[in-house]
A and B are shown apart, each in its own frame.
Chain A
Amino acid sequence: MQFQVETRNLYKEYSGKKILSDVSLGVEIGEIFALIGPNGAGKTTLLRILDFLDEPSKGTVWFQGARVNFSERNTQALRRGIGMVFQQTLLFNTSVSNNVAYPLKVRGENEREIEQRVKEALKIVQLEGFESNNALKLSGGEAQRVALAQALITDPELLLLDEPTANLDPRNLSIVEEVLSWANRERKTTIIMATHNMFQAEALADRAALIMEGRIEKIGKIQEIFTLPSKTLTKFARLENVFSGVSRLSKEGTSVIDIDEVQIEAALQRSGNVSVYVRPEDIILSSQPLISSARNRFEGRITEISDQGSILRLRVKAGKDFTVQITKRSFNEMQLNMDSTVFLTFKASAVQII
């Protein structure tokens, strides 16, 4: 199997501080590879080395079977086959279409070709009609999608993404995830993404590496990674809404999981000890009890509010601690605050087993 990109015994030190230690990994052509680890694990540095923005202190990088020489001229040529989406979205102070056109302009494509491809790229990220908008006036999610369009417009062989969905609201998050799996499926783009979201990795990636303090602790197929004890996994990723309890089958063919004083109904057929997870974006928050067919309904109060840009992440104590997210606008419309009483609703099918 030929590797799209490979690192061998990579070390990176930055002003005496070890960022990466002995990192060896190969990413196969056409796969989605996730780098999972907590903040500060070295994911960003590794991605920067793979985009040749940083040079390793020791070790080698191989791109499509050839050893990378980190001279300016060489990296510039190689970089033209790679798209990179940074965690910190930076767009140029000009229109959306000029931003998306930039990678083609620097490659000297002709105007007509550029116009056509900008249109296509914006369509892919569902931003048709945004051509003449000022890029600096976009919402965080829209800006991130423009950055994705910039990276995709050249149809790169390799796409590098640094926390592509951190701080996105559910709608933008699902658009970005859709685009990524589309690019991988239809264009056969190899994707390497850094994430601290295990469940995103599970949903998208074929293989993953767990990184901790600059070292690869485990590398393998995503299923193998997920068979690790959840305590180990929790070390690497932020796990919220993870509950462990005893599951029993109900008459309706679902499972009811007893978690201390809380019962969660799941569209699963399991009995015995289980750990389950509910994505924060799958939980509906309301100020009044919701009339719904959803099986799980809880009453609780808000114990923590954290600002994530256009959305808020709330911690709600409803027997157990739940993390939910809500747009700032709805939060204000419902006149919520700390200690407000709220209702949580989610479907049995939103409960995933770990």
Chain B
Amino acid sequence: METSFLEVLLRAFQLIFSLSPEVLSITLLSLRVSGTAVLIGALIGVPIGMVLGLVQFRGKRNLMHFIDITLRSIVNTFMGLPPVVVGLVVYLLLTASGPLGVLGLLYTPTAMIITQLIMVVPIIIGVTMSAVGSVEKAVREKALSLGATDRQAAWMVLREARMGVLTAIIVAFGAAISEVGGILITGGNIRWVTRTLTTAIVVEVELGNFALAISLGIILLSLAFAINLTLTIIQLRGIKR
């Protein structure tokens, strides 16, 4: 058993640089699951978030206002959805006796993607919505004053919110790649099949393999950093252009 923190850290780096096939497969699966979930999540969440952002504050009548507030609160609640609860619900749907049991998806990467998808869509909707909403009034009025039609003005609002949309994707990916509770339930943490960086860490900690757990943690952090760096560079470029 490793004892000192330094020793654990040292062994962890050795493990990373030995690049075992298993660690590699775990890493790739993490990327595949979270990447796919965020990609599909963006395709669903960005348009919805844009529409919700555009209609913000426009409802003058009381009923519209009420619907508006309710809708927004629902989105915000779902943004903080506990992954474990999502995992549980997806498990109950996909389990052999469940309504979607015939699909045989439980304990597959697909089940994990579905779990994370449900988690990231509200995040992407929420962040996109507030990004669009924050520039909506000023950009829309500016465009209208320059002679734009309502539709042209709305299009300009979306264009100006594009950096905020990228933020939504960054936030969603960060949440997905670090998530463990949901995919642990629906993926089952099966070695070589559904084991990801986060679920592997849970197992290794339980087994007392702290060096391996830390090394997986370092890989997870580095990955998150690399992807955030790339997206941030794109974001800064976008501002310069």
Interface residues of A (CB under 8 A from B): 51, 53, 72, 76, 79-80, 82-84, 86, 88, 90, 92-94, 102-103, 106-107, 134, 136-137, 150-151, 154
Contact = CB atoms under 8 A, between A and B. Distances in A.
B63 interface: no
A92 B241 contact: no
Interface in B120-160: 138-139, 141-150, 152, 156, 159-160
A79 B147 contact: yes
B147 A154 contact: yes
14 contacts: A53-B141, A84-B145, A92-B156, A93-B159, A93-B162, A93-B238, A93-B239, A93-B241, A102-B148, A103-B147, A134-B239, A134-B240, A137-B240, A150-B146
Contact of B160 (A76, A80, A86, A93): A93
Contact of B145 (A79, A92, A134): A79
A162 to B, nearest CB: 11
Contact of B147 (A107, A136, A137): A107
Per DSSP, are chain B's interface residues mostly helix, strand or loop, or mixed? helix
A348 to B, nearest CB: 43
Nearest to B148: A106
Contact of B144 (A79, A136, A154): A79
Top 7 nearest A-B pairs (CB, nearest first) are A84-B145, A103-B146, A106-B148, A80-B147, A106-B152, A90-B142, A103-B147
Contacts of B162: 93
Given A92-B156, A92-B160, A106-B149, A86 B144 contact: no
Contact of A134 (B138, B149, B160, B241): B241
Contact of A94 (B138, B147, B149, B241): B241
Most buried by A among B142, B160, B238, B241: B142
Interface of B: 138-139, 141-150, 152, 156, 159-160, 162-163, 238-241
Contact of A136 (B138, B139, B239): B239
Nearest to B153: A106
Given A88-B138, A90-B138, A92-B160, A106 B238 contact: no
A137 B241 CA distance: 10
A151 B146 CA distance: 7
B22 to A, nearest CB: 45
A141 to B, nearest CB: 19
A345 to B, nearest CB: 41
A51 B147 contact: no
Contacts of A106: 143, 146-149, 152
B199 to A, nearest CB: 41
Contacts of A82: 145
A106 B146 CA distance: 8
Contact of A76 (B149, B240, B241): B149
Nearest to B163: A93
Nearest to B140: A53
Most buried by B among A82, A106, A137, A150: A106
Contact of A72 (B150, B156, B241): B150
A94 B240 CA distance: 8
Contacts of B142: 86, 90, 92
B150 A76 contact: yes
Contacts of A150: 146
Contacts of B160: 92-93
Contacts of A102: 143, 146, 148, 156
A151 B143 CA distance: 11
Contact of A53 (B145, B148, B150): B145
